[in-house]
Amino acid sequence: MTHLVESMERHGHLDLDPEVKTRVRLASAATLDRLLKPVRVAVVDRRKRQRRLSPGRNIPVRTFADRNRPPPGFLEIDLVAHCGDSRLRPATG
């Protein structure tokens, strides 16, 4: 915690009194966790409230349980690349 406090002070994000700085340095990790718990709970609650759109709501997904099954011979393929930044390139001989 000492490194974090020093870094935040150095970059101007935090300005502590010398007494408070000493108390933070002497406090145990468990004490700091206990003191910061209400702040963490507030931040986590705020994050949970943010609504994220899942692709399933925007893209119709067909499952095996669908009653209207496609006719025999129907084929549906999803292409997913798991290769990082590279792109699909035609094979040249």
What DSSP line would sit under the chain, residue for residue?
-HHHHHHHHHTTS----HHHHHHHHHS-HHHHHHHHHHHHHHHHHHHHHS----HHHHS----TT-SSPPPTT---------STT--------
84 occurs within a structural domain: no
31 occurs within a structural domain: yes
23 occurs within a structural domain: yes
Task: Quick: pLDDT tens for 36-67.
Answer: 888 888 777 666 655 666 665 667 666 766 66
pLDDT band at residue 89, thresholds of 50, 70 and 90?
A: low
76 occurs within a structural domain: no
Task: Quick: pLDDT tens for 15-41.
Answer: 888 898 888 888 898 998 998 888 888
pTM: 0.39
Whether 37 and 51 have beta carbons less than 8 Å apart is answered as no
Q: How many domains is the chain built from? A: 1
29 occurs within a structural domain: yes
26 lies in which domain range?
2-49
Could you tell me which of 34, 40, 2 has the C-alpha nearest to residue 21? 2
34 occurs within a structural domain: yes
pLDDT value at 7 more than 80: yes
Rounded to the nearest 5 degrees, what angle is found at the Cα of 77, between the Cα atoms of 76 and 82?
Answer: 160
